[in-house]
Amino acid sequence: MTQYELTKMAGAVIAALLLIFGMKTFIDIRLAGHGHHGKSAGYTLPAAVAVAGGAAAGAPAEAGFSFAKVAEALPKANVENGKDIFKKCTSCHSVEKGGKALQGPNLWGIVGRAKGAVAGFGYSEPLKAKGGDWSYESLANFVNNPKGYIAGSKMVFAGLPAASDIADLLGYLRTMADTPAPLPAGK
């Protein structure tokens, strides 16, 4: 085989990969519904979050966030909207049963699972030290403001401010388990 033939084969492989991944990206963009909400193109940057001086350790730092609003919306959560919201998370998390960890751990069965429990994933020390299980309330607080709920967390997501969006996301994650976790008591 000559150098010329090797170069042609390498070029063909690269062109095929570019075509496959380019088409996949194009299809993902078209099906993701970018702009279907009537908003302008691009992303809305998160506003600065005010941290209350006397907030208890581990309390959500964003003023005005209340799990009670999420718990109220959770029984009537829109799972399809939650699935759309989860698309923001797919660059770092997989949700398939037995799926591999990406930048973040796999989230299959997250509701009720112990914090830092995915074997082989490198959790931050503050998250490991937090302990306990991922309840709806702890997930809501974390998704609302990851750095405010667990200072020093590796998660770079800015958070979801709307209680209805958090409830929809939790409703979707609830379906990603062999047996969905029961809703919070009294809700």
pLDDT value for 56 = 43
pLDDT value for 43 = 61
Looking at the structure, give the CATH architecture of the domain made up of residues 67-175: Orthogonal Bundle (1.10)
CB 136 within 8 A of CB 183: yes
* pLDDT tens, per residue, the chain with 187 residues: 899 999 999 999 999 999 999 998 888 887 765 445 545 556 666 655 444 433 444 444 445 788 999 988 899 999 999 999 999 999 999 999 988 888 899 999 999 999 988 888 888 899 889 889 999 999 999 999 999 899 988 888 888 999 999 999 999 999 998 888 888 765 4
Q: What is the pTM of this model?
A: 0.64
pLDDT value for 48 = 52
pLDDT value for 131 = 86
CB 97 within 8 A of CB 108: yes
Which is nearest to 162 in space by CA: 90, 32, 89, 62? Answer: 62
pLDDT value for 65 = 84
Alpha-carbon span 60 to 144, nearest angstrom: 8
What is the torsional sign of CA 178, 84, 23, 93?
Answer: negative
pLDDT value for 144 = 93
Alpha-carbon span 106 to 116, nearest angstrom: 11
Taking the domains of the chain in order of start, what are their residue ranges? 1-41, 67-175
